[in-house]
Amino acid sequence: MKIYHAIVGNLRDPEWAARVKDADVETIELDQWTAQKSRFAATSDRKTEYAVALERHSQLLDGDILEYDPADRRMVVLRIRLNEVLVADLTSLARETPEEIIHIALELGHAIGNQHWPAVVKGCRVMVPLTVDKKVMESVMRTHRIEHVDYAFRSGEEVIPYLAPHEIRRLFGGASHASETEHTHHHHACV
């Protein structure tokens, strides 16, 4: 079995988008946890086994091209399925007193921490990966009724462009594994 050490392109690039139109495309579906690894084996939609060993800390993106054979116009494309993310927006807290900001931030931290949900803080937004049924997460947020905190669910594809690689791994690389130690990463400037 051949081991792939590099990504040759991405379907979002105009050059590759044009090539894919005439290509025989073989697809490898990855879940969000496997996509965060630099070494893995996967089976394509044609039942072909692929071994991938990229450089450490490589970041795979939906539409990455693992192989392209121009003579056969054959292409092997990675497709990544990302879960939704709960995004809690704390921007309106900026108008509150320092005491109120601390109170509300601790309430939100308690609500999220009590569920053992991992989180990434990016500017004035707290992002929590969908690790349980969406209705459960909505119920927790409604039950706590935290003032001045708006929240919505966003697609993983929508939030990923704003995240650093370590934040992407935090949200999508093992979020469902409750046995992992949970850490929260903080940024201080509001975005």
pLDDT of the chain, 191 residues: tens digit per residue = 889 999 999 999 999 999 999 999 999 999 888 888 889 999 999 999 999 999 987 888 889 999 999 999 999 999 998 889 999 999 999 899 999 999 999 999 999 989 989 899 999 999 999 888 899 999 999 999 898 899 999 998 899 888 887 888 888 875 443 333 333 333 334 44
What 3-state DSSP class applies to 72?
Answer: coil
How far is Cα of residue 51 from the mean position of the Cα atoms in its chain?
A: 22
Domains and CATH numbers, the chain: 3-81 (2.60.260.20), 85-185 (no CATH)
pLDDT for the residue 153: 95
Contact in structure between 64 and 27 (CB atoms under 8 Å): no
> Which of these, 141, 11, 159, lies nearest to 83 by C-alpha position?
159
pLDDT for the residue 190: 46
pLDDT for the residue 174: 55
How far apart, in whole angstroms, are the C-alpha atoms of residue 43 and residue 51? 9
